[in-house]
Amino acid sequence: MARQEDGSYVISTHREITDVLNDPHLSSDLSNLSPPVPPADGRTPASFIHMDPPEHDRLRRMATRQFGPPHTPGLVTGLDGFLTATVGSLIDDLAAKKRIDVVDDFANPFPVTVICHLLGVPRADEPRFHLWVNDIMNSIDYNPETDPKAKLDKGVQARKDLPQRLGELVEQRHGRPGDGLLSRLADDDGPDGRMTDAEIVATAKLLLIAGHETVANLIANGMLTLLRHPQILERLRGEPDLAAPLVEELLRYEPPVQIIPWRAAYSDITVADTVIPQGSRIMLMLASGSRDPKRFHDPDRFDPDRRDNQHLGFGSGIHLCFGGPLARREAQIALTELVRRLDRPRLVTDPPPYRPSPVLRGPIHLDIEQGDG
């Protein structure tokens, strides 16, 4: 752990990160920092990942009731056919291409299609949702010195248009039960009551943005790692059951989220014999913790046969990524099918260009060639 010049604290070891993520004295609410940090987007209420108990717990329980076990245990496994068909359709479009950008041609469109299907977004709206999510993600890394202002403007507009359309869809779902998550949330009267429309919109937006970025980076990082380890790529081609442990190792070795950029201390806390004052900003280096040599043997080696792989790829504690089971399955199916169906894929550029973000790790583009060299 290290104290920074601005008074914040960086924690980088597996044990201390896990302890902090499970410490009830740590807050995820920006307003608990000293001084408080205003929300990045004041137009949409915060999602529950930026809340603390008991409000966090209430909203997470309500979302989870409709998203997975124990109330909807077959949701993720029931999507296998749709995931496989979607992956197959995207790869069909790549079959005739000698050169492919795995990010633009596959990793970006796949998760947005999946989340739109899960939410129950009308097919006619899907192209707009793809554009909005892409514009938002592109604007996150906006650099005023090098990027055209249009890049930022598109992101600002998408942040208005996306929640507005989600709100319209939620309003239409009241009293009209359907299979999509928007419909189920709009008409759910469980033990915690019913989400407000604004809370449903915030939850849906969280799924679209976080679900997109995590899965797109995981697939791109995974394909890059496999191409750098051709023997493991060949193993996956012949052993589809390798996909599950392989994705767990990817989440440890090359995680899509490298850092939790802040937590706030409710009160003075002690971490590794250091007292962190109330209100201090704490940054958690997840990628470092997942390569901690005190926790993982030979941590810089990519090993899908690794045992006891308690990585930090989806965090830990009450904010453990609740979409993790779906993200895992998306990556397992996507990588298995890419390896099986692409014809002798090879990297065009290594390393590829990466997005300029300390938090999110993934190539901006991942160009590969297939077929005859």
Domain positions in the chain: 2-343
Question: What is the pLDDT confidence band of residue 34, given thresholds at 50, 70 and 90?
Answer: low
pLDDT of residue 3: 87
Q: Tell me the C-alpha to C-alpha distance, in Å, between residue 264 and each of 33, 50, 188, 257, 267.
A: 5, 11, 33, 19, 9
Domain 2-343 architecture: Orthogonal Bundle (1.10)
Q: Tell me the C-alpha to C-alpha distance, in Å, between residue 204 and each of 26, 47, 118, 210, 228.
A: 26, 9, 10, 10, 36
Residues 75-132 have pLDDT tens digits of 888 899 999 999 999 999 998 899 999 999 999 999 999 999 999 999 999 999 999 9
Question: What is the pLDDT confidence band of residue 245, given thresholds at 50, 70 and 90?
Answer: very high
pLDDT for 332 beyond 90: yes
pLDDT of residue 322: 86
pLDDT for 287 beyond 70: yes
pLDDT for 39 beyond 60: no
Q: Are strands 269-271 and 281-284 parallel, antiparallel or unpaired?
A: unpaired
Q: Tell me the C-alpha to C-alpha distance, in Å, between residue 368 and each of 90, 111, 146, 250.
A: 15, 20, 27, 20
pLDDT for 42 beyond 60: no
**Taking a C-beta distance cutoff of 8 angstroms, is the pair 51, 206 a contact?**
no
| Distance between CA atoms of residues 22 and 51, nearest Å | 15
| Distance between CA atoms of residues 322 and 324, nearest Å | 5
Question: What is the pLDDT confidence band of residue 355, given thresholds at 50, 70 and 90?
Answer: confident
Q: Taking residues 132-146, report their average pLDDT.
A: 86
pTM of the model: 0.92
pLDDT of residue 171: 94
Residue given tokens 């592109």 in the structure block: 138
Q: Tell me the C-alpha to C-alpha distance, in Å, between residue 143 and each of 10, 56, 140, 297, 355.
A: 25, 33, 9, 39, 11
Residue 340: how many other CB atoms lie within 10 Å: 12
What is the rounded average pLDDT for all residues in the chain?
A: 91
pLDDT for 5 beyond 60: yes
pLDDT for 19 beyond 80: yes
Q: Which two tokens stand for residue 35?
A: 């001084």
pLDDT of residue 37: 62
**Taking a C-beta distance cutoff of 8 angstroms, is the pair 286, 17 a contact?**
yes
| Distance between CA atoms of residues 346 and 371, nearest Å | 9
pLDDT of residue 50: 87
User: Between these two residues, 357 and 372, which has the higher pLDDT value?
Assistant: 357
pLDDT of residue 373: 59
pLDDT for 45 beyond 80: no
Q: What is the DSSP string of 76-116?
A: HHHTHHHHHHHHHHHHHHHTT-SEEEHIIIIITHHHHHHHH
**Taking a C-beta distance cutoff of 8 angstroms, is the pair 153, 143 a contact?**
no
pLDDT for 318 beyond 80: yes
